[in-house]
Amino acid sequence: MTESFAPPAVKPTTRSTGDLAKVAVSGWLGTAMEFMDFQLYSLAAAIVFNKIFFPDVSPVIGLIAAMATYGVGYVARLVGAIYFGRMGDRIGRKKVLFITIALMGASTTLIGVLPTYGMIGIWAPILLVALRLIQGFGAGAEIAGATVMLTEYASARRRGLISSLVCLGTNSGTLGASALWAILVAALPQDQLLSWGWRIPFLASFVLMIFAVWIRRSLKESPVFEERADVVDGVALSKQDILSKDVVREAKDNKKATSTIEAALHQRKGKAFLIALGLRFGQAGNSGLVQTFLVGYLATVLLVDKTVGTTAIVYGSLLGFVTIPLIGLLGDRFGRRPLYLAISALSALFAIPMMLMVTSGNPAVITTGMVIGLNLGVLSLFSMESVTMAEFFGARTRFTQLALAKEIGGILATAIGPLLAATLTAVTGQWWPLAAMLIGYSLITLISAAVGPEVRGRDMVLLEDAV
């Protein structure tokens, strides 16, 4: 399917290589910090929080309560996506990215100094939940904002490669948090881990936050946002202002500005968002099953040594440092749509072989299957997702729509998927429902890519969506 696009109203402002480098490091640090924060919390919730924040209940109830505080972060992420997404489209990407990194970093650091239940009683878990909500609120727009900034800075020829740095950041954060906890659990006895050791990872994140905040303070605004036809003095005009043609003519002194804005306002909304949401389903759904559910399934249902699943994820993530930029490069070379069609089709075809490998009982075979499944059905799609979804949306609402598509897709697929998988495997006692879910998620993405347009090289200044 081919798509023709009108020329932009104004040629975007150029940025130097140094400016691009700062944005790239900022995007990598921000997403690394986001996923590090969430991974630190999830591991702490599973290992220590039930004992130090919920000690007056049974171990099972304490674990449920600790994991519930983890879950509230996903609700806060959706709220943050709405709030900061609209702010980013209204006042600029740079300001929002500064706020989100500060919120995430401050809340994570403060968790490291929280008094425990033994010190202040019920106020300890209440404060924990409050900080978790703040952390999620900031994180809800972080990855979307970093993606928008990178894609709007990058040249059309290397947009896929540059935006893949966001995906590399998620890998770095997850591995960093896992490594910190692995060292602590191995080096400290249980009493020291519970008394003070658990605080170290949260306090250590303060250093990363300071570095990220320092870099983001010196960033220049996205050139696309600055040159949008509806932006005056660094703020997007409201719809009411835009409807007054004199305002636009006065603001831009550009005959094309009014028609460009009117075209964006009169475009029917929703189609690009639904296609992007479908593209998100494959990566998010496969991630929830491969990176979360299968690790527990191996240990509790198949009774395989619990280190097999976690080791497979570590190996797969390490390989991802090659897979992610490679897919970004291929997308720049051959287009987003062909890569999406090929990767999602291969993911669906590999679902049954992967589950046969996972249920083989052989640790080496299990690890191989999960490493391939992670890189094919999760990380490859993630690399394509970042740039493609940004190119789908027009500059006027890109931040908001991208943030919402990511967070809604994450809730529907990543959060609900493992629960559905647990229910289906418990009812059937078989592995085939997992393969069916993996196939289903991949086919949703395949169909979405098939009905969507090719957006490689699309002009990011255009205000209207690609469809």
Global confidence as pTM:
0.84
Model confidence at 19: pLDDT above 90: no
Residue 382 sits in a domain whose CATH number is 1.20.1250.20
Shared-domain flag, residues 217 and 258 = no
> Is 257 inside any structural domain?
yes
Confidence band, pLDDT 50/70/90 cuts, at residue 46: low
Q: What is the pLDDT of residue 258?
A: 57
Q: Which two tokens stand for residue 133?
A: 């909500």
* CA atoms within 13 A of residue 415's CA, in its CB half-sphere: 17
Q: Which of 222, 254, 285 is the last residue of a domain?
A: 222
Model confidence at 1: pLDDT above 80: no
Comparing C-alpha atoms, which of 107, 98, 105, 114 is closest to residue 133? 107
Residues 6+ apart with CB under 8 A from 374: 290, 291, 312, 313, 316, 317, 320
Confidence band, pLDDT 50/70/90 cuts, at residue 5: very low
List, for residues 295-344, the tens digit of each pLDDT value: 778 877 888 887 788 788 889 989 999 999 999 999 999 999 999 999 99
Confidence band, pLDDT 50/70/90 cuts, at residue 9: very low
**CB-based contact 275:385 (threshold 8 Å):** no
Comparing C-alpha atoms, which of 218, 267, 262, 213 is closest to residue 101? 213
Shared-domain flag, residues 199 and 344 = no
Confidence band, pLDDT 50/70/90 cuts, at residue 3: very low
Q: What is the pLDDT of residue 254?
A: 54
Shared-domain flag, residues 208 and 268 = no
Got the DSSP string for 242-267?
Answer: HHSHHHHHHHH--HHHHHHHHHHHHS
Q: Give CA–CA dist 271/261, Å, rounded.
A: 19
Name residue 235's beta-bridge partners: 232
> Is 77 inside any structural domain?
yes
Q: What is the pLDDT of residue 243?
A: 57
Q: Please count the structural domains in the chain.
A: 2
Model confidence at 285: pLDDT above 70: yes
List, for residues 112-127, the tens digit of each pLDDT value: 999 988 888 888 888 8
Model confidence at 4: pLDDT above 50: no
Q: Which domain holds residue 129?
A: 16-222
Model confidence at 388: pLDDT above 80: yes
List, for residues 427-455, the tens digit of each pLDDT value: 888 999 999 999 999 999 999 999 999 99
What is the pLDDT of the chain when averaged over all its residues? 83
> Is 236 inside any structural domain?
no
**CB-based contact 417:296 (threshold 8 Å):** no
List, for residues 256-275, the tens digit of each pLDDT value: 555 566 665 656 678 999 99
Shared-domain flag, residues 73 and 112 = yes
> Is 5 inside any structural domain?
no
> Is 2 inside any structural domain?
no
- Collapsing DSSP to helix, strand or coil, 231 comes out as strand
Shared-domain flag, residues 440 and 334 = yes
Shared-domain flag, residues 452 and 304 = yes
Shared-domain flag, residues 214 and 252 = no
> Is 237 inside any structural domain?
no
Name residue 231's beta-bridge partners: 236
**CB-based contact 432:355 (threshold 8 Å):** yes
List, for residues 145-177, the tens digit of each pLDDT value: 989 999 999 888 899 999 888 888 888 887 888
Q: Which of 3-7, 168-172, 368-372, 425-429 has the least mean pLDDT? A: 3-7
Name residue 236's beta-bridge partners: 231
> Is 249 inside any structural domain?
yes
Q: What is the pLDDT of residue 209?
A: 84
Residue owning tokens 């403060």: 110
How distant, in Å, are the alpha carbons of 35, 174, 374 from that of 169? 8, 9, 16
DSSP H helix total and E strand total for the chain: 23, 2
Averaged pLDDT, 236-246: 61
List, for residues 119-148, the tens digit of each pLDDT value: 888 888 888 888 888 888 988 888 889 899
**CB-based contact 410:279 (threshold 8 Å):** no
Please provide the size of the chain in residues: 467
Q: What is the pLDDT of residue 449?
A: 95
> Is 227 inside any structural domain?
no
Shared-domain flag, residues 209 and 257 = no
Shared-domain flag, residues 184 and 321 = no
Q: What is the pLDDT of residue 463?
A: 86
Shared-domain flag, residues 299 and 218 = no
Shared-domain flag, residues 287 and 337 = yes
Got the DSSP string for 75-137?
Answer: HHHHHHHHHHHHHHHHH-HHHHHHHHHHHHHHHHHHHTT---HHHHTTHHHHHHHHHHHHHHH
Q: Give CA–CA dist 146/253, Å, rounded.
A: 31
Shared-domain flag, residues 87 and 122 = yes
